[in-house]
């Protein structure tokens, strides 16, 4: 009796081993090639079991049986290594590829763009409005942001590098802005180390301030170094910068789109018509080209520039020439008429 029982057990074990080998061979050849027929995004929540994930795949993306995913994960020894997050399922994606993504945590990434010339407040609002971002920093004060972003200044203005960033669902808003801050800190340090000598700038922060003004003054790449040259020469000579964008920034919400004479004559820390030197903080997010221009200003003798009305500027070395250019471009007067039409 015992011999028969032992033989039966041995036979069952052999059958089990044969089945396991057969299943393993089948799974190794077939499962990795399995392709989902319904594309979309699979969301794996923290604490989800592999069985729950497999059932979601079956219901939403055409996986015939939960055994397929569980069997492949078991064979590869990754059953407990699936990471939470969103995973994109494209037409033709194999089960093997999806499993690899879930093990690596290669979650769906969503783009968000911070634009050159935006203020810090505009960038924060854009990030917090992103549907995949978690807005943890609503209502934060200026000092809250300075501490969270590890900024060596009293204000976070200008410290975000404008670029396109990618984030996973649920990324906190301050984490996105921290990445932008670290990019700006790295780029500013690189540009500062390679700066032209004998500039009237005592620190990288002053370079950032000047770069932000350049960013707001022109969108024409070829003019950035020319404008930087004007501002640098004015600083070297002790002349006021007299730039409209700083005044507009200082007006804040009071600015209605029309800069008036009284605005230029109202004193304030950002009024560069009445105060010498740089304003106390940057006024916008400068791109790398503007940072580079601030530290590599163009040569020349121009001390003035005026908008032509087509996005470009006319540069002049004397106030008399500048005054005539202003009358021509902004008042429509012919040149050389002595101010009369």
| Band of residue 20 on the pLDDT scale cut at 50, 70, 90 | very low
Question: Positive or negative, the Cα torsion across 314, 282, 291, 129?
Answer: negative
Which of 102, 106, 104, 97 has the alpha carbon at shortest distance from 50?
A: 102
Q: What is the DSSP letter of 223?
A: G
DSSP string, 197-217: SS-S--SHHHHHHHHHHHHHH
pLDDT at residue number 341: 29
- Please provide the DSSP assignment of 7-34 as one string: HHHHHHHHHHHHHHHHHHHHHHHHGGG-
Give yes or no for residue 32 having a pLDDT over 60. Answer: no
Phi-psi region of 106 (alpha: psi -120 to 50; beta: other; left: phi over 0): beta
pLDDT given for residue 74 in this prediction: 87
User: pLDDT band for position 323 (50/70/90)?
Assistant: very high
Q: Answer whether residue 238 shows pLDDT above 50.
A: yes
Mean pLDDT for the stretch of residues 68-89: 89
Is it the case that residue 340 has pLDDT exceeding 50?
no
Q: Which of 87-101, 238-252, 273-287, 292-306 has the lowest mean pLDDT?
A: 87-101
Mean pLDDT score, 141-146:
97
Q: Which residue has the higher pLDDT, 192 or 67?
A: 192
Distance CA 136, CA 152 (A): 22
pLDDT of residue 281: 98
- Say if residues 283 and 119 touch (Cβ distance below 8 Å): yes
Query: Is residue 293 a contact partner of residue 227, using CB atoms and an 8 Å limit?
Result: yes
Instruction: Tell me the whole-structure pTM to 2 decimals.
Output: 0.85
**Pairing relation of β-strands 171-172 and 133-134?**
parallel
Tally of CB atoms within 10 A around 273:
16
Section 115-134 average pLDDT: 97
Q: How far apart are CA 153 and CA 214, in angstroms?
A: 20
**pLDDT for 324:** 93
Asked if the model's pLDDT at residue 212 lies above 80, the reply is yes
Residue 190 and residue 291 in contact, taking contact as beta carbons nearer than 8 Å = no
141 pLDDT higher than 60: yes
Which position has the higher pLDDT, 37 or 282? 282
Residue 42 DSSP one-character state: E
What pLDDT shows up at residue 13? 56
Q: What is the arithmetic mean of pLDDT over 135-149?
A: 97
User: What is the rounded distance in angstroms from the CA atom of residue 319 to the CA atom of residue 310?
Assistant: 22
Q: What is the mean pLDDT of residues 303-326?
A: 92
Q: Which helix (DSSP H) or strand (DSSP E) does residue 75 occupy? A: helix 66-76
Mean pLDDT across the chain: 89
Place of tokens 């093990």: 103
What number does CATH give the domain 34-108? 3.30.1490.480
- What is the rounded average pLDDT of the residues 329-339? 71
Of the two residues 79 and 25, the one the predictor is more confident about is 79
279: closest CA among 250, 304, 259, 237? 250
What does residue 227 show for φ and ψ, rounded to 5 degrees?
-65, -40
**DSSP H/E element including 230:** helix 224-237
Domain ranges of the chain: 34-108, 110-188, 196-331
**How many helices and strands, by DSSP H and E, does the chain display?**
13, 8
Least confident of 7-21, 40-54, 103-117, 231-245: 7-21
The mean per-residue pLDDT over the stretch 66-88 comes to: 88
Burial class (CB in 10 A: 0-12, 13-18, 19+), 280: middle
Task: Identify which has the larger pLDDT, 20 or 119.
Answer: 119
Q: Band of the pLDDT at 21, cuts 50, 70, 90?
A: very low
């Amino acid at each position: 009796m015992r011999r028969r029982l032992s033989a039966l057990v041995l036979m069952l074990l052999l059958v089990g081993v044969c089945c396991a080998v057969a299943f393993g061979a089948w799974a190794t050849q077939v499962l990795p090639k399995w392709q989902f027929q319904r594309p979309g995004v699979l969301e794996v929540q923290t604490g989800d079991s592999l069985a729950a994930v497999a059932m979601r795949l079956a219901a939403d993306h055409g996986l015939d049986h939960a055994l397929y995913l569980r069997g492949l994960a078991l064979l590869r020894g990754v059953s407990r290594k699936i990471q939470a997050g969103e995973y994109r399922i494209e037409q033709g994606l194999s089960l093997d590829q999806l499993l690899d993504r879930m093990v690596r945590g290669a979650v769906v990434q969503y783009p968000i763009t911070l634009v050159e010339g935006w203020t810090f407040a505009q960038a924060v609002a854009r990030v917090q409005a992103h549907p995949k971002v978690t807005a943890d920093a609503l209502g934060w004060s200026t000092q809250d942001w300075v501490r969270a972003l590890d900024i060596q200044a009293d204000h976070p203005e200008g410290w975000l590098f404008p670029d396109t960033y990618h984030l996973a669902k649920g990324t906190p808003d301050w984490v996105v802005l921290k990445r932008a801050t670290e990019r700006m800190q790295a780029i500013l340090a690189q540009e500062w180390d390679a700066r032209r000598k004998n500039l009237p700038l005592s620190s990288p922060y002053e370079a950032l301030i000047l770069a932000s003004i350049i960013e707001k003054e022109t969108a024409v790449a070829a003019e950035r170094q020319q404008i930087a040259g004007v501002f640098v020469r004015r600083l070297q000579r002790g002349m006021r910068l007299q730039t409209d964008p700083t005044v507009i920034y200082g007006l804040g919400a009071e600015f209605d789109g029309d800069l008036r004479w009284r605005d230029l004559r109202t004193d304030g820390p950002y009024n560069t018509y009445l105060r010498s030197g740089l304003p106390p903080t940057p006024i916008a997010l400068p791109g790398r080209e503007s940072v580079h221009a601030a530290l590599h200003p163009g040569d020349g003798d121009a001390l003035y520039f005026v908008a032509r009305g087509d996005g470009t500027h006319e540069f002049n070395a004397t106030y008399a020439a500048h005054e005539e250019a202003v009358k021509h471009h902004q008042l429509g007067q012919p040149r050389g008429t002595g101010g009369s039409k």
